[in-house]
Amino acid sequence: MNIEALDPLTSQHLALFGAVVQWFARYETLMEEMTAAVAGCDLPAVILLMRSHSFTGKRQTLLDLLRHRATAMDEFDRIRGYLVIPHKLARLRDDIGHCAWRRGAAPDGVQPNWILRVPPSVKPSHGEDAAPDAYVEDNDDRVEYTIDDLEQIVASLAENYVLFAGYLKEINLLAARR
């Protein structure tokens, strides 16, 4: 039996999944470097302390530490803003790592296997002006990803990361690597 014929994930899906996971790893490393700089600790110690934390845990730890150190509000807001994009995509990253995937409705669409294909009549409608049976998907409701969706997600993670890392260098908020 040809297992590739049964698998909805193409090599393109898998490459994009890998890119999503790698961008998250880079964000987590950046947050560890920031945590070390803000706490005045050496980076290896912070890496050891945070290695069992999820992305969400590292993000919250960093934001709590920035508040504790009374970081200027404009810097805090900007840092939190740069972390919004990966924060909103953390569920996708978790689904990539913890779910099998199956075909979606679109020809190149896939969705995590926990999605139960709920009938459209029970999906939420967004906005008062929407027709009673209209369903407008937002990122929190997304259940299917096409190749184009995944490419846009990877591009968004990459562009935001470059801007974020540049900002951190500008304000000197990265621990030196040894």
* Calpha distance 146→168 (Å, rounded): 33
Instruction: Answer yes or no: is 146 within a domain.
Output: yes
Contact 153, 110 (CB under 8 A): no
Q: Is residue 166 part of a domain?
A: yes
Q: Residue 119 domain-assigned?
A: no
Number of domains in the chain: 1
**Axis-axis angle for helices 147-170, 73-82 (nearest 10):** 150
Assigned domain for 108 exists: yes
The answer to whether residue 139 is domain-embedded is yes
Cβ 55 vs Cβ 27: under 8 Å = yes
Tell me, yes or no, whether 99 lies in a domain: yes
Sequential pLDDT tens for the chain (178 residues): 455 555 889 999 999 999 999 999 999 999 999 999 999 999 999 999 999 999 999 999 999 999 999 889 999 999 999 999 999 999 999 999 999 999 988 888 999 988 665 545 455 555 555 545 544 444 445 689 999 999 999 999 999 999 999 999 999 988 766 5
Domain limits at 45? 8-113+133-170
The verdict on residue 175 lying in a domain is no
Q: What are phi and psi of 81, to 5 degrees?
A: -60, -40
* Residue 140 located in a structural domain: yes
Structure tokens at 25: 């790893």
pTM value surpassing 0.85: no
Cβ-in-10-Å burial (0-12, 13-18, 19+) of 178 comes to exposed
Question: What is the H or E stretch that residue 112 is in?
Answer: strand 110-112
